[in-house]
């Protein structure tokens, strides 16, 4: 018979816990998605953690202890860190290297996609269809977790993921590097089959709740839409990605 009191929560494999363990992860420059710190924490080691965090560009949240307890029942000392199973890249560095080699580049931009399994499935489609990199914001977006890697069937180990403080700034950089910026939205005025995906381009998909943010839409060169006959207003974002990337490949292969 199941006894609730005897149940020990299994710590997710992408979580490290304890102040010393997190400090060592920071010092060894492991890829860290985010750090959760108990509000009001004043342990002696916490001040050493603050020193380790100084000058680091890491996403930190101060949360009630109950939130940390929901992640792990281990002795976390009020601090846990979500580590990434992959290395993140800078979009500017990656694009510059490809331009120097004379390569066209396809960038898949995910604006505030938060579902881990959806993200993994999207990454799988992206790798199959020849996307060169995935670009996501550092905040308000899904993290690359062990679950995401599994759902991607290993695609996230093969396709670079770039994170940015500002999608708008990164897209402006791409635009200045002669990339075509394509937003995929039900509000678009260009049917998918008339959208030009040839050459270097960045293809944007938004969250299922409210789509692509207005700043990114305004920056776009093309607003593409998938023609539909049914009454439901929009498709699941993972399905939309698959359809759009198929059209991109069709144009490359068959003109």
Q: What is the predicted pLDDT for the residue at 43?
A: 77
Q: What is the predicted pLDDT for the residue at 255?
A: 73
Contact 132, 161 (CB under 8 A): no
Same domain, yes or no: 177 and 242: yes
Give CA separation, 222 vs 12, 180, 251, in Å.
Answer: 41, 8, 16
Give the CATH number of the domain where residue 149 resides: 3.40.1280.10
Residue 47 covered by a domain:
yes
Give pTM, 2 decimals.
0.85
Give CA separation, 33 vs 69, 78, 119, 189, 229, in Å.
Answer: 19, 17, 15, 37, 40
Give the CATH number of the domain where residue 14 resides: 3.30.1330.30
Expressed as residue numbers, the domain containing 24 is 9-83
Q: What is the predicted pLDDT for the residue at 133?
A: 97
Q: How many domains does the chain have?
A: 2
Same domain, yes or no: 148 and 56: no
Same domain, yes or no: 64 and 98: no
Single residue among 37, 56, 83 that ends a domain in this structure: 83
Residue 1 covered by a domain:
no
Report strand pairing: 15-17 vs 190-191. Answer: unpaired
Q: What is the predicted pLDDT for the residue at 9?
A: 57
Residue 243 covered by a domain:
yes
Q: What is the pLDDT along the chain (255 residues), one digit of tens a residue?
A: 334 444 455 677 789 999 999 999 999 888 899 999 999 888 778 888 999 999 888 889 999 999 999 999 899 999 999 999 999 999 999 999 999 999 999 999 999 999 998 999 999 999 999 999 999 998 889 889 888 999 999 999 999 999 999 999 999 999 999 999 999 999 899 999 999 999 999 999 999 888 999 999 999 999 999 999 888 877 899 999 999 999 999 999 987
Residue 3 covered by a domain:
no
Contacts of 220 (CB under 8 A, 6+ apart): 181, 182, 183, 204
Give CA separation, 159 vs 144, 208, 231, 246, in Å.
Answer: 12, 23, 35, 17
- Nearest-angstrom CA–CA distance, 125 and 244: 10
């Amino acid at each position: 018979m199941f006894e609730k009191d005897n149940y020990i929560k299994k710590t997710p494999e992408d979580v490290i816990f304890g102040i010393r363990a997190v400090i060592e992860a920071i010092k060894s420059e492991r890829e860290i998605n985010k750090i959760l710190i108990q509000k009001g924490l004043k342990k002696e080691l916490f001040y050493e953690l603050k020193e380790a965090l100084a000058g680091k560009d890491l996403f930190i949240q101060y949360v009630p202890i109950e939130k940390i307890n929901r992640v792990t029942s281990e002795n976390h000392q009020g601090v846990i860190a979500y580590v990434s199973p992959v290395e993140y890249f800078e979009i500017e560095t990656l694009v510059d290297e490809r331009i120097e080699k004379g390569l066209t580049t396809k960038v898949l931009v995910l604006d505030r996609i938060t579902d881990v399994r959806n993200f993994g499935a999207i990454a799988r489609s992206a790798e199959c269809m020849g996307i060169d990199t995935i670009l996501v914001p550092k905040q308000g977006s899904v993290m690359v977790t062990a679950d995401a890697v599994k759902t991607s069937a290993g695609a996230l180990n093969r396709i670079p993921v770039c994170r940015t403080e500002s999608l708008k700034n990164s897209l402006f950089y791409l635009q200045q590097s002669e990339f075509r910026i394509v937003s995929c939205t039900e509000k678009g005025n260009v049917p998918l089959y008339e959208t030009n995906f040839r050459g270097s381009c960045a293809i944007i998909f938004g969250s299922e709740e409210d789509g692509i943010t207005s700043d990114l839409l305004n920056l776009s060169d093309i607003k593409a839409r998938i023609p539909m006959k049914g009454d439901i207003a929009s498709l699941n974002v993972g399905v939309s990605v698959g359809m759009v990337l198929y059209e991109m490949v069709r144009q490359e292969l068959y003109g």
